[in-house]
Structure 1
Amino acid sequence: MCDTAQATAADASLSTPRQVQGSAVDPIALTPVDEVRVTILMDNTFDALLVGDGHTTRAGFGAADVPAGQFETDRTAVGLLAEHGFSALVAVRRGDSTTTLMFDAGLSPSGIVTNADRLGMRLDDLQGIVLSHGHFDHAGGLSGLSSKLGAMRMPMTVHPHAWTRRRLRGPQGIFDMPTLSKRALTAEGFEVIERSQPSLLVDGAVLITGEVDRTTEFEHGMPAAHEALAAGDWRHDPQVIDDQALVVNLKNQGLVILTGCGHAGVINIVRHAQRLTSVPRLHALLGGFHLSGPAFEPIIPPTVAALADYAPQLVAPGHCTGWRAQHALAAALPEAWVPSSSGTTHQLVRA
């Protein structure tokens, strides 16, 4: 979510660096894992012609299994869906034990379940859901997931501010974003767990960051057009305070970090994960980097420079990263950068 509106000095002051509210455990003993598989269930793009490599598997068009009367067989192949949303399945293996979580749920009710079906993935193997933040393009598929799985008690980790009512005030008018309903999610069978501080899942092998420290000088959050309803008034909401990331410590390799939109700033997120875990090495950074549009393009150079200093082995930006940032990241990190696409699986293994 972004636009070209200019913030005032008062708006800018709201997004200056701050520390997370409340106590934090520092460091957190994050149990190293043997393997992490991240499958991009939904992203803004789908490219059936992308080629995989040693640690990346791509989805193609698949079998011709969709009815289409204009073809001689009355069938066609359609590949996967893409939409302005993000969702990933994260499978973490420790020895012979594997646990799969869903990180975000895409935009549309049918999107992630359709792609899972076409990929042949069983969503009833899920053992939990994490929402990176409350924006509707990361939670829209929850109703479709509930309909597919039926009655369940699926644990879902969210920040308490995920229920915040938000809108965009732009030159063409006001867009009221669909707002998540805790009541509706609970009625659908999700066991909602609200946490603003760091959470350890999967027997201590997966860290959910909670609120992220804002410590860089250049990541200032959302522009003035992004507003939230607070105490009956609409106010500039630069921080998207509910933004959180998923972190895994891959044995002998370093941190694997998955972001939804990275509203806290991806460098802030990396720093925060390093501080929480005392693991200095960044192995992989995947997800939305939110560097798209005139409001964010000025911070592309310092973001890319800071990320290059970490020398990650894999950088797979998608969703809201934007084409200018993609080009810059590909140029600065040619061995690490991998284009994202719905249906891509990244398999990362311990050294």
Structure 2
Amino acid sequence: MCDSPAGRDEAAWSAPSPAPGPAVDPIHVEPVDEITVTTLVDNVYDALLTGTDRVQRAPFKAGSAIAPQFETGRTTVGLMAEHGFSALVTVRRGATTHTIVFDAGLSPDAMTTNSERLGIDLSDATAIVLSHGHFDHAGGLVGLSARRGRRALPMVVHPGAWTRRRIAIPGAEPDLLPTLSKKALEAEGFRLVERRHPSLLLDGSVLITGEVDRTTEFEHGMPAAHQAWDGSEWRHDPRVIDDQALVVHLRGHGLVVLTGCGHAGAVNIVRHAHRLTGVARLHALMGGLHLSGPSFEPIIGPTVAALTELQPQLVVPGHCTGWRAQQAIATALPDAFVAGSSGTSYRMTAA
């Protein structure tokens, strides 16, 4: 994506808006005893990565497929990787366990194919959360619906997810992005829960942030080429206002924050989670941080510096984070950084 000059209105639109002090009415998120985040779809699948006591990697042989060029007529297959993101989040409080699907990847079959090869039954999911309306996070919804049948599944989504968007690079034909259809999703059995404000799920143990306060001086959002239809004209859409994150309070450790693309800005999101919950510690940050490409690489430095001050115990930057930002995070936080890969599970337990 390329930058192009933005006008005064666009600059004001993307400027930080102060949100001083703690939340007036902090949201109590019930601490959990255990959380496991399994990456179902990511941009990378590396079958040679090794696990640890807290990281379980997918098996090298995740399945087989017909391949007549081999003597047996079959070959070993791994997992699918694509420019998209999807994760399965399982939380446990005492003897009670719940599972949520967070985003659905790019293609109709990647999330369900990987789940099947990992032996994961997506029909156990209590709900699905959509981080935002971009197509690389919603493409697998049709596959999920096909696997579940038409049993109603609650989907938490920001009402801005239905926004028509395009990429309009100067000198090139505008590229219209696929737009989610509310009517089609409802017909597939998804029970839509549209919320601009924070939502508590699973007996109060999972927080969905809703719209994120933009408070940093350096996270200005998408470049001018990213546009949205406002009902009468195409306008620069820097904020992607429907961007939201998932937050869990791990007992004795602090917050676990999961992002889809992090369009609101990784630091904005973490600060917003702290402010909403009143929990000062960040235990883990996982998901897309959108620091790839010339429009975002200039903010890698201040982003990594701010994250370093937070001293997280686990950072798994994936999807749209980009290799330069991943390298910078790995250098600054060598004990916390873990390379992401489709099929990897991260298990975190209470202190």
Structure 1 counterpart of 2:226: 226
Residue in structure 2 matched with residue 336 of structure 1 by the alignment = 336
Letter paired with 1:43: D
Alignment of structure 1 residues 180-329 onto 2, 5 Å: 180-329=180-329
TM-superposed CA distance for 1:104, in Å, is: 0.4
Mapped contact 1:4–1:293 kept (Cα < 8 A): no
Gaps of 5+ in 1: none
C-alpha contact 1:26 1:277 (8 A) present in aligned 2? no
Residue aligning to 1:346: 346
| Closer, same or farther: CA 327–88 of 1 in aligned 2, 3 Å | same
Read off the aligned partner of 2:288 and give its amino acid letter: G
Q: Which amino acid aligns with 1:256?
A: V
1:169 aligns with 168
How far has the Cα of 1:25 moved from its partner? 6.4
1:101 aligns with 2:100: yes
Q: Whole-Å Cα distance in 2 between the matches of residues 278 and 179 of structure 1? A: 36
Q: Quick check: 2:63–2:78 contact (8 Å CA) kept in 1?
A: no
Write the deviation string for residues 225-276 of structure 1: whole angstroms up to 9, x where unpaired: 0000002210000000000000000000000000000000010000000000
2-structure distance, mates of 1:97, 1:336: 29
SS in 2 for 1:77: strand
Instruction: Pick closer, same or farther for the CA change 1:78–1:5 going to 2, 3 Å.
Output: farther
Whole-Å Cα distance in 2 between the matches of residues 322 and 64 of structure 1?
Answer: 29
Change (3 A) 1:47 1:172: farther
Matched position secondary structure for 2:330: helix
CA contact (8 A) 1:26 1:275 kept: no
CA shift digits 1:299-335 (9 cap, x unpaired): 0000000000000000000000011101100100000
Deviation at 1:7, TM superposition (A): 3.3
- Structure-1 separation of matches of 2:60 and 2:182: 37
Task: Tell me whether 1:115 sits opposite 2:119 in the alignment.
Answer: no
User: Partner amino acid for 2:174?
Assistant: I
Residues 168, 226 of structure 1: 8 Å contact kept: yes
- Measure the CA separation in 2 of the matches of 1:80 and 1:74: 20
Q: Give the RMSD, CA atoms, in angstroms.
A: 1.3
Equivalent-residue separation in structure 1 for 2:132 and 2:293 (angstroms): 20
Look up the match of 1:132. Answer: 131
Q: TM-score, normalised by structure 1?
A: 0.97
Deviates more, 1:59-68 or 1:209-218: 59-68
Q: Which amino acid aligns with 2:165?
A: R
Cα distance change, pair 62–6 in 1 and its aligned pair in 2 (3 A): farther
User: What secondary structure sits across from 1:196 in the alignment?
Assistant: coil
Deviations 1:155-207 (A, max 9, x none): 00000100000000125421100000110000000000000000000000000
SS in 1 for 2:143: helix
Equivalent runs, 1:55-70 vs 2, <5 Å? 55-62=54-61, 65-70=64-69
Residue correspondence of structure 1 range 127-166 to structure 2 within 5 A: 127-166=126-165
Alpha-carbon displacement from aligned partner over 1:265-297 (angstroms, at most 9, x marks no partner): 010000000000000000000000000000001
1:5 touches 1:295 (CA, 8 Å); kept in 2? no
Question: Aligned partners of 1:70, 1:60: CA distance in 2, in Å?
Answer: 24
How much has 1:3 moved relative to structure 2? 3.1
Q: Is structure 2 residue 35 aligned with structure 1 residue 36?
A: yes
Whole-Å separation in 1 of the counterparts to 2:163 and 2:134: 9
* Residue 86 (structure 2) aligns with: 87
Matched-pair contact (CA < 8 Å) for 1:6–1:223: no
Query: Deviation at 1:64?
Result: 5.2
Instruction: Go from structure 1 to structure 2 and tell me whether the alpha carbon gap of 1:263 and 1:64 turns closer, same or farther (over 3 Å shift).
Output: closer
Contact 2:223 2:238 in 1 (8 A): yes
Asked whether the equivalents of residues 62 and 117 of structure 2 are also in contact (C-alpha less than 8 Å), the reply is: no
Sequence identity, in percent? Answer: 64
Distance 2:338 2:154 in 1: 31
